[in-house]
């Protein structure tokens, strides 16, 4: 329980910092939203080393309730003061954490899956928003950037490259190479085609399926 309380304190600090940055107009919009997304998601990826799976599930449920309450009556502006009605990624992130903790007991697999949501997806959005404005494409009426998609691919390779090495006892060299070559582009496609923020669930689910099939 101490780890749960400590984690809630860390999350509260991240949200407080985000609120201060928003009020001082240092961060806003998508950059503000992804600052919280990346920070909390990356922190959550390492929860299995800090607490039990049941505690992770409890934290995920608490986060989900908090996000839903904040959507109903805004008291924190971690969405960058954007009223988002077509994207529920902030809701699906804690749900993804709960689902991942229910379907795997492998700490490294969990971390790899959640880091794809926090880092690969988060950095893709930030880089695409700030550097990819003039090179866009559309999938199902959703605007994407080439720079953002390539960022997702590159970050995915880095996450898998380091993460699978940490679980080297479970994979052969051939499996390692195959996953590095095939999984990042597959995940990038999933992230592109799944809408309404549900990629926050679909991407880590695909990661866990692929890793478990490869073992």
Please, what is the angle between helix 146-166 and helix 122-131, to 10°? Answer: 150
Tokens of 103: 């379907």
Question: How far does the chain reach from its first CA to its final CA, in angstroms?
Answer: 33
The H or E element containing residue 3 is helix 2-23
Q: Which residues pair with 145 in a beta bridge?
A: 136
pLDDT of residue 189: 95
Between CA 129 and CA 22 the distance in angstroms is 18
Asked if the model's pLDDT at residue 84 lies above 70, the reply is no
121-125: average pLDDT: 95
Q: 24-68, pLDDT tens digit by residue?
A: 888 887 888 899 999 999 999 999 999 999 999 999 999 999 999
Residues of the chain with pLDDT > 70, as a percent, come to 95
C-alpha dihedral sign at 107, 117, 53, 6:
positive
How much is the average pLDDT of 183-209? 95
CA distances from 114 to 30, 33, 99, 121, 202 (A): 20, 17, 11, 10, 11
Whether residue 116 has pLDDT greater than 90: yes
The whole-number pLDDT of residue 208 equals 98
pLDDT per residue as tens digits for the range 131-144: 878 888 888 777 88
The structural domains of the chain, with segments of one domain joined by +, span 2-214
Tokens of 146: 């080439």
**Distance separating alpha carbons of residues 64 and 127, to the nearest angstrom:** 27
Band (pLDDT 50/70/90 cuts) for residue 99 is very high
Please check the confidence at residue 80 and state whether its pLDDT lies above 90: no
CA distance linking residue 76 with residue 135, whole number of Å = 33
Most confident stretch, 21-25, 160-164, 196-200? 160-164
* Residue 145, helix vs strand vs coil: strand
* Mean of pLDDT over the chain: 91
Instruction: With beta carbons less than 8 A apart as the criterion, state whether 135 and 70 touch.
Output: no
């Amino acid at each position: 329980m101490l780890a749960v309380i400590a984690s809630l304190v860390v999350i509260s600090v991240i949200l407080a910092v985000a609120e201060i940055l928003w009020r001082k107009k240092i961060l806003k919009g998508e950059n503000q939203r992804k600052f919280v997304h990346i920070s909390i998601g990356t922190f959550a990826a390492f929860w299995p080393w800090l607490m039990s799976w049941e505690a992770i599930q409890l934290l995920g449920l608490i986060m989900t309730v908090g996000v839903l309450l904040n959507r109903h009556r805004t008291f924190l502006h971690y969405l960058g003061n954007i009223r988002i009605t077509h994207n529920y990624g902030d809701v699906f992130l804690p749900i993804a954490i709960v689902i991942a903790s229910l379907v795997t007991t492998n700490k490294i697999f969990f971390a790899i899956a959640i880091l794809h949501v926090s880092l690969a997806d988060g950095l893709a959005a930030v880089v695409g928003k700030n550097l990819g404005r003039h090179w866009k494409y559309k999938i199902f009426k959703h605007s994407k950037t080439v720079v953002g998609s390539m960022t997702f691919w590159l970050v995915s390779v880095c996450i898998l490259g380091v993460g699978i090495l940490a679980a080297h006892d479970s994979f052969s060299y051939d499996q390692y190479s195959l996953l590095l070559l095939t999984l990042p582009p597959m995940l990038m496609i999933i992230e592109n085609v799944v809408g309404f923020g549900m990629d926050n669930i679909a991407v880590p689910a695909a990661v866990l399926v692929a890793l478990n099939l490869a073992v």
